[in-house]
């Protein structure tokens, strides 16, 4: 039995892979946008499960869905039809405005599938990704990821992957050729420092892809499901991906990923891809609850009268961004960027000591690279908690450098 605080961290340090740099707290419980450690301290959560908790922790609708579904059927490979999966796929395709979906279990798997589908359907091999882009850690998705520290120890990766500067349409035009199967791109680069696409950029990327017979893969693993103030961030830009990859928040914290497949791609030939856990009824049940909560309407003291968490994130997120721009000291901060509840503050110094200082004051936040503070609060965070976190962040940064 684990009976003391020290035992938990000792045990983890002894037996876990070592691949993660862990913070010195043990989280034991969560509700909405609050997390508690094993000493009973409460934190305002601006980590949001690293993007997997858009609906907050232990959301009652998700809890109800997985409780009900776990008594009915948990696992069911796609050898068989299943009513929860059928309903979920139909609902997901409807809100994403795309005809088909391949279901899997994580973001990297979704991108892996999208890259395979692009090669299969175009008969080409080349992939163009972007500098600062992040698409996951498995060999294919990793090849499209930019960060050299993630990529270089594992070379050789898949061939014919090139990286072009983000928000630079001329460099993309130069890089496209007759062997380019796909362009893979985020709407707001998340891990790479919270860099949104400039207005018109994604539309121009789409046009170039169409002209070149190249498929457009939009990676919304982090930006999807309301995070940026739109159900899917690309909907703001008025573009239509050929392949749309999603994961993180899609099933309320239960592992799940998907590739939405557009008209230009069409149906996959049988046997060309697969996943044992993909489309399992537990995740599909949770996914249905999430879609209902985000699109039909939520309830609660801080939810607007129309029940729309996404509109709230769009408007309140912009207010927070504007507030930071007006109130953060130029001595501490270079730039504030973001859309909705996806906010990045580029610092003049290192982010690590800031994260620690915030944690000591009861706010948990994320980095995005060495000098960007990233905030991904759950969309259900109360107005009070959000502004309290903003005040603590402001005081911490303005006194820091
Ligand atoms: C997190 C993330 C991934 C990888 O998702 P995992 O579920 O961790 O494999 C891929 N793309 C983007 C944009 C992400 O933010």
Secondary structure letter of residue 249 according to DSSP? G
Question: Do 75 and 44 reside in the same domain of the chain?
Answer: no
User: Same domain, yes or no, for 208 and 273?
Assistant: yes
Which of 247, 255, 367 best tests ligand 1's pocket when mutated (most atoms within 8 Å of CB)?
Answer: 247
**Tokens 């072009």 identify what position?**
164
Residues 181 and 287 in one domain: yes
Asked which of 241, 265, 296 is the last residue of a domain, the reply is 296
Nearest to 147 by CA among 159, 158, 163, 128: 163
Q: Hey, whose CA ends up nearest to atom 11 of ligand 1?
A: 135
In CATH, what number is assigned to the domain containing residue 201? 3.40.640.10
266, 176: one domain = yes
Arithmetic mean of pLDDT, 372-400? 97
CA–centroid distance, residue 13 to ligand 1 (Å):
24
- Do 153 and 253 belong together in one domain? yes
CB-ligand 1 contact for 145 (6 Å cutoff): no
Q: What is the mean pLDDT of residues 301-324?
A: 88
Question: What does pLDDT average to over the chain?
Answer: 96
Asked if 264 contacts 99 with a C-beta cutoff of 8 angstroms, the reply is: no
If you measure from the C-alpha of residue 398 to the centroid of ligand 1, how many angstroms do you get, rounded to a whole number? 31
pLDDT, position 338: 98
Nearest CA to 293 among 380, 382, 381?
Answer: 380
Helix axes 352-360, 383-398, angle to 10 degrees: 130
Question: What CATH number is attached to the domain comprising 314?
Answer: 3.90.1150.10
134 lines ligand 1 (CB under 6 A): yes
Q: Is the pLDDT of residue 297 over 80?
A: no
Residue-wise pLDDT for 335-356, tens only, equals 999 999 999 999 999 999 999 9
pLDDT 10s digits, 27-41: 999 999 999 999 999
Q: Let me know whether 209 and 309 are in one domain.
A: no
Return the ligand 1 atom nearest residue 222 CA.
Answer: 15
pLDDT band, very low/low/confident/very high, at 169 (cuts 50, 70, 90): very high
**Ligand 1 near 190 CB (within 6 A):** yes
Provide the number of structural domains found in the chain: 2
Give me the pLDDT at residue 3, please.
Answer: 55
Q: Are residues 353 and 339 in the same domain?
A: yes
pLDDT band at 306 (very low <50, low <70, confident <90, very high): low
Q: What mean pLDDT do residues 78-103 have?
A: 97
Residue 286 beta carbon below 6 angstroms from any ligand 1 atom:
no
Pairwise pLDDT comparison (219 vs 401), residue with the higher score: 219
> Do 43 and 72 fall within a single domain?
no
Q: Which of 105, 108, 254 to mutate to test the pocket of ligand 1 (most atoms within 8 A of CB)?
A: 108
- Residue 199 sits in which domain range? 61-296
Smallest CA separation from ligand 1 atom 15, residue: 222
Check pLDDT > 90 for residue 299: no
How would you classify the pairing of strands 195-196 and 188-189? Answer: antiparallel
Which whole number is the average pLDDT over 273-286? 98
- Which of 296, 330, 350 finishes a domain? 296
Q: Which pLDDT score is estimated for 210? A: 98
Q: Identify the pLDDT of residue 300.
A: 65
Q: Given 273, 296, 319, which residue is the final one in a domain?
A: 296
The pLDDT value given to residue 401: 75
Q: Is 224 in the pocket of ligand 1 (CB under 6 A)?
A: no
Q: And the tokens for 148? A: 């050299």
Contact between residue 161 and residue 125 where contact means Cβ atoms under 8 Å apart: no
Mean pLDDT to the nearest integer, 287-313: 83
Quickly tell me which residue has 């309290």 as its tokens.
Answer: 388
Looking at the fold, whether 107 and 251 belong to one and the same domain comes out as yes
Q: Same domain, yes or no, for 221 and 189?
A: yes
């Amino acid at each position: 039995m684990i009976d003391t605080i020290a035992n938990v961290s000792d045990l983890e340090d002894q037996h876990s892979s070592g691949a993660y740099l862990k913070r010195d707290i043990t989280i034991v419980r969560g509700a909405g946008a609050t997390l508690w450690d094993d000493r009973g301290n409460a934190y305002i959560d601006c980590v949001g499960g690293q993007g997997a908790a858009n609906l907050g922790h232990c959301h009652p609708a998700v809890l109800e869905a997985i409780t009900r579904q776990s008594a009915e059927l948990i696992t069911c490979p796609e050898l068989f039809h299943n009513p929860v999966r059928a309903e979920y796929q139909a609902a997901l395709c409807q809100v994403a405005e795309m005809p088909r979906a391949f279901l899997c279990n994580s973001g990297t798997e979704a991108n892996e599938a999208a890259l395979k589908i692009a090669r299969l359907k175009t008969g080409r091999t080349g992939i163009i990704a972007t500098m600062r882009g992040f698409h996951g850690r498995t060999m294919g998705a990793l090849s499209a990821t930019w960060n050299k520290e993630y990529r270089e120890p594992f070379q050789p990766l898949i061939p014919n992957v090139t990286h072009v500067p983000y928000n630079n349409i001329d460099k993309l035009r130069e890089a496209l050729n007759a062997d380019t199967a796909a362009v893979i791109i985020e709407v707001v680069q998340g891990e790479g420092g919270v860099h949104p696409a400039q207005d018109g950029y994604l539309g121009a990327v789409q046009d170039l892809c169409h002209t070149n017979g190249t498929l457009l893969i939009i990676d919304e693993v982090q930006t999807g499901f309301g995070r940026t103030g739109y159900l899917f961030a690309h909907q703001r830009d008025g573009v239509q991906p050929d392949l749309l990859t999603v994961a993180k928040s899609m099933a309320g914290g239960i592992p799940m990923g998907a590739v939405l497949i557009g008209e230009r791609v069409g149906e996959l030939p049988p046997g060309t891809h697969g996943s044992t856990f993909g489309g399992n009824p537990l995740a599909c049940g949770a996914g249905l609850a999430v879609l209902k909560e985000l699109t039909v309407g939520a309830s609660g003291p801080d939810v607007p009268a129309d029940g729309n968490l996404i509109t709230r994130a769009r408007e309140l997120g912009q207010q927070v961004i504007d507030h930071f721009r007006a109130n953060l000291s130029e001595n501490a901060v270079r730039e504030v960027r973001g859309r909705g509840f996806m906010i990045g503050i580029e610092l003049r110094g290192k982010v690590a000591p800031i994260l620690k200082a915030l944690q000591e004051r009861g706010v948990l936040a994320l980095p995005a690279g060495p000098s960007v503070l990233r905030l991904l609060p759950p969309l259900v965070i109360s107005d009070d908690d959000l502004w309290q976190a903003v005040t603590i962040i402001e005081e911490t940064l303005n006194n820091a450098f």
